[in-house]
Amino acid sequence: MSKPLSGKVALVTGASSGIGQATAIELARAGATVAVSARRADRLAELVGQIEAVGGKGLALPGDMTVEAEAIKAVEDTVAQLGRIDILINSAGVMQAGGIEGVDLDEYRRVFDINLFATLYTCKAAVPHMLEQGGGDIVTISSLAGRKGGPETNAYSASKHAVNSMTDAMRQELGNRNIRVSILMPGATETEVAHNISNPQWRTAIQAHVTKDGAVQPSEIGETIVFMLSLPRHVNISEISVRPTIDTTA
């Protein structure tokens, strides 16, 4: 089996479930050594076992990426223990429902803390190492909600619009120094994204959306990321959308 990422070191945030977990395994299949970070240490320990089961090497780094010091520590521990950081996958994210009427400002801020600021913290920490090494790759998991809005996706869509803007600005800033920066926007993908939605009706609706027939599987997002990373260095997929074939609006 081809291992296009052999010799690379990756850090995946939000790795305890869904896209982050599956991407970590696919990166390991492709030959990368993978550090994984999330709040749930037990899940990370299981993930390291899965990485080792496919012949890879994993490192669990429990932490809350919304805490700047912990996000920076995840990057620094990756470099200290694995020697470098070639790939950063920003997969930590959360969805909440709600519009402007009766908005829960604490919940709104929490969405931005996870979806936007956690990404900023890890990028800020990783970029100096990548520049010193002579290059690297940053892939941020956004959403198709980052291209549109809706009355029940106010905070989520706003955070993803911000993530897209910030990420593309980084691409323009860093591309001429051999750091490729990419946005990946999944449509309906079978993950736990609905589990923490506080509004029960919206939770049920999103759960049905992401588990419908033909929904994208997290491993398929991981395979897409490996493809992006495997392209020649002069090719930067700046953004890519991955939708279920049977639902062109997903």
Asked if the structure places residue 151 within a domain, the reply is yes
Which residues have C-beta within 8 Å of that of residue 172, sequence separation ≥ 6?
none
Asked if the structure places residue 1 within a domain, the reply is no
Asked if the structure places residue 224 within a domain, the reply is yes
More confident residue, 209 or 137: 137
Mean pLDDT, residues 107-124 taken together: 95
Residue 108 annotated in active site: no
Residues 151-202: pLDDT tens digits?
A: 777 888 899 999 999 999 999 999 999 999 999 999 877 666 656 766 776 6
Of the candidates 18, 108, 126, the one whose C-alpha atom is nearest the C-alpha of residue 72 is 126
* Mean pLDDT lowest among 95-99, 170-174, 206-210, 243-247: 206-210
Residue whose entry in the numeric block shows the structure tokens 């969405």? 111
Which residues have C-beta within 8 Å of that of residue 12, sequence separation ≥ 6?
20, 23, 24, 27, 34, 35, 36, 37, 89, 91
Asked if the structure places residue 202 within a domain, the reply is yes
> Given a cut of 80, is residue 211 above it in pLDDT?
no
> What CATH number corresponds to the domain at position 138?
3.40.50.720
The angle at the Cα of 154, spanning 152 to 158, to the nearest 5 degrees, equals: 150
Asked if the structure places residue 233 within a domain, the reply is yes
Contact 49, 36 (CB under 8 A): no
pLDDT of residue 148: 83
Give the chain's domain count.
1
* Catalytic position from the list 122, 138, 156, 185: 156
The boundaries of the domain holding residue 214 are 9-242
Asked if the structure places residue 250 within a domain, the reply is no
Secondary structure class of 195 (helix, strand, coil): coil
Asked if the structure places residue 201 within a domain, the reply is yes
Asked if the structure places residue 59 within a domain, the reply is yes
